[in-house]
Amino acid sequence: MVQLDFAAVLADWPLLLRGAALTLALTAVAAVLGVGAGIACARARTHGPPAVRALAAAYVELVRNTPFIVQLFFIFFGLPSLGLRLSSEAASVIAMTLNLGAYAAEIVRAGIDATPRGQLEAARSLAMTERQVFLRVVLPPSLGRVWPAMVSQIVIVMLGSAVCGQIAAQELSYSANLIMSRNFRSFEANFVAAGLYLAMAVLLRQALAWAGPRWLFGRAAPTRS
């Protein structure tokens, strides 16, 4: 009775390709901004004045303890009543960035906390400013230590972007759902979408594992504490 017809789904390959491209684009922007936000937030939580610490903690707890889709709906459907109207794609990127930022903050903070005291003391005894100590001594090896966890979190955010189709952002799961609602080939469409997500996740993981040491924290950075 059940006959699989993958051709019916693959015939819409331009739609799938466009969806996959938007998923990657959303992820790329959210990854750059989110990791940046995470580093800033981690710095604020470890080195900031008490008020800033509390603010950063509140942000992290708020985001980490609410579902992503609720955050997304709040930005897309909720903010217009405050006069801020964002496109589906802008709302998706902001939601993904805020989400990644909070998790990244905790990941980076773990790396910062694991910095050996001796390195801090050595840096300070060389008369480096606090800013120099953070940017040159604390941050790079910290990122190196937590990079695998960070890469995983970015991949999770990419996979989580599948719900952005709910607010009509035309990413990969939106394409798959649209194809499904046109030809009712739900098994095939989901199967193809899952395959594409799998491939994208594996590639993203490898690309980040390659890029991190080269551009972000230096190959020579110690990865052991």
Partner 1 sequence: MSLQRRPFFALVLAGLGLLGASSAFADSALDTIAAKRSIAIAIPTDFPPYGFVGTDMAPQGLDVDMARLVAARLGATVELVPVTSANRIAYLQTHKADLVISTLGKNPEREKVIDFTAAYSPFFQAVFAPRAMVLKSPAELAGKTIGVTRGAIEDLELTKIAPAGADIKRFEDNNATVSAFVSGQVQVIATGASVAGNMMARNPQLGAEFKLLLKDSPNFIGVAKGDDKLRLKVNEIIASARASGEIDKLCVKWLGRPAGDLPN
**# binding residues, partner 1 (CB under 8 A):** 24
Distance (Å, rounded) from C-alpha 188 to C-alpha 49?
A: 54
180 binds partner 1 (CB under 8 A): yes
From the list 106, 135, 166, 201, which residue makes contact with partner 1 (rule: CB under 8 A)? Answer: 166
Helices 88-113 and 139-160, packing angle to 10 deg: 140
x/- map, 74-113, partner 1, by CB under 8 A: --xxx-xx---x--x-------------------------
Contact 23, 158 (CB under 8 A): yes
Distance (Å, rounded) from C-alpha 204 to C-alpha 151?
A: 8
From the list 16, 165, 188, 193, which residue makes contact with partner 1 (rule: CB under 8 A)? Answer: 165
Residue 116 region, left (φ>0) first, then alpha (ψ -120 to 50), else beta? beta
Distance (Å, rounded) from C-alpha 47 to C-alpha 105?
A: 13
176 binds partner 1 (CB under 8 A): no
Name which of 85, 89, 79 is nearest 27 in CA terms.
Answer: 89
Query: Please, which residue, 82 or 127, has the CB nearer to partner 1?
Result: 82
Q: How far is the CB of 193 from partner 1 (least distance, A)?
A: 14
174 binds partner 1 (CB under 8 A): yes
From the list 63, 112, 133, 167, which residue makes contact with partner 1 (rule: CB under 8 A)? Answer: 167
x/- map, 57-76, partner 1, by CB under 8 A: -------------------x
Q: Which two tokens stand for residue 69?
A: 């889709």
From the list 48, 159, 183, 218, which residue makes contact with partner 1 (rule: CB under 8 A)? Answer: 183
Q: What residues have CB less than 8 Å from 174, skipping those under 6 apart?
A: 19, 164, 165, 168
187 binds partner 1 (CB under 8 A): yes
Q: How far is the CB of 61 from partner 1 (least distance, A)?
A: 27
Contact 179, 185 (CB under 8 A): yes
Which residues lie near partner 1 (CB under 8 A)? Answer: 1-2, 4, 76-78, 80-81, 85, 88, 165-168, 174, 177-178, 180-184, 186-187
